[in-house]
Amino acid sequence: MADDELARMRRIVAEYDSLEDPEQRSEFLDIRGYTRGSLAGARRAIAAADRPTPGEPSSRAPRRTRRRQGSRRPAPVAPPGRPRLRRRGPAPRKVVITLRIVVEFP
């Protein structure tokens, strides 16, 4: 992307961000002929241009990843001849309804 086009996008986004009133922002977009989507696209293009390329050396030192010590305990082993214990939820409750109807005829 050309530097002058990127500079134009930066200027338009900065000018839009400086407006606080929603009506002024809408008028700004109408006058310039932009939509909110095109403005979002310009922001993405600016962010992509500001990102350093992979071959470009970074100004900060490379990060080291820390390794947690003792993060995993070994799985418990059941004694021989005994199956492993499995955790299950509570057994479903059985509901038994008994109804006794007594009818007496004279």
Q: Helices 3-18 and 36-50 sit at what angle, rounded to 10 degrees?
A: 120
Predicted structure pTM score? 0.48
- The answer as to whether 101 is a domain residue is no
> Domain count of the chain?
1
The gap between the terminal CA atoms of the chain, to the nearest Å, is: 103
Give CA–CA dist 13/40, Å, rounded: 9
H or E segment to which residue 53 belongs? none
Does 33 map to a domain? yes
CA dihedral 48, 52, 56, 59 (to 10 degrees): 170
Report if residue 25 sits inside a domain: yes
Residue 93, domain member (yes or no): no
Q: Please check whether residue 63 lies inside any domain of the structure.
A: no
Question: For residue range 28-47, what is the model confidence (pLDDT) as tens digits?
Answer: 999 988 899 999 999 999 99
Domain span including residue 36:
3-50
Please report whether residue 19 resides in a domain.
Answer: yes
pLDDT value at residue 71: 59
Q: What is the DSSP letter of 46?
A: H
Any domain includes 21: yes
